[in-house]
């Protein structure tokens, strides 16, 4: 099964590493689930929700490790997005990479995600 991805601010991720668990962003906690994206959804999520953001990281997770707490639900334009109803144990994370900005202002998505 293909990996799923969480985009988050580096400061949030640093806190998660310190606490050994990721409880989600403020928006995730408000919605009561952690928002993930499939690889093909990452560019659209960055453009729509992080256009003005900097200092981002991309967190890769194997969805098989999340069990029944992971649900694919319709969101933007009816596309199914992975949502985690619970916290993310850091032991489930495959890798974390920075998301860089290119000189034109667009995002350089880590090659492992493309």
Query: Over the range 29-59, which residues count as b (16 or more CB within 10 Å of their CB) and which as e?
Result: eeeebbbbbbeebbeebbeeeeeeeeebbbb
Token pair 């990996």 is at which residue?
3
What structural domains and CATH numbers belong to the chain?
A: 4-113 (3.20.170.20)
Distance (Å, rounded) from C-alpha 54 to C-alpha 10? 9
Q: Which of 70, 86, 82 is nearest to 21 (CA)?
A: 86
For the beta carbon of residue 102, count every other beta carbon within 10 angstroms. Answer: 8
pTM of this structure: 0.94
Mean pLDDT, consecutive 10-residue stretches, the chain (114 aa), reads 93 95 96 96 93 93 96 89 96 96 90 81
């Amino acid at each position: 099964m293909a990996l799923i991805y969480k985009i988050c601010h580096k400061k949030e991720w640093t806190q998660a590493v310190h606490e050994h668990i990721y409880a989600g962003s403020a928006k995730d906690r408000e919605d009561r689930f952690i928002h993930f994206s499939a690889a093909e959804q990452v560019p659209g999520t960055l453009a729509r929700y992080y256009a003005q953001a900097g200092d981002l990281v991309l967190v890769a997770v194997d969805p098989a490790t999340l069990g029944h707490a992971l649900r694919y639900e319709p969101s933007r334009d009816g596309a199914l997005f992975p949502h985690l109803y619970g916290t993310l144990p850091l032991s489930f994370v495959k890798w974390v990479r920075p998301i860089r900005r290119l000189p034109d202002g667009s995002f350089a998505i880590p090659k492992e995600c493309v």
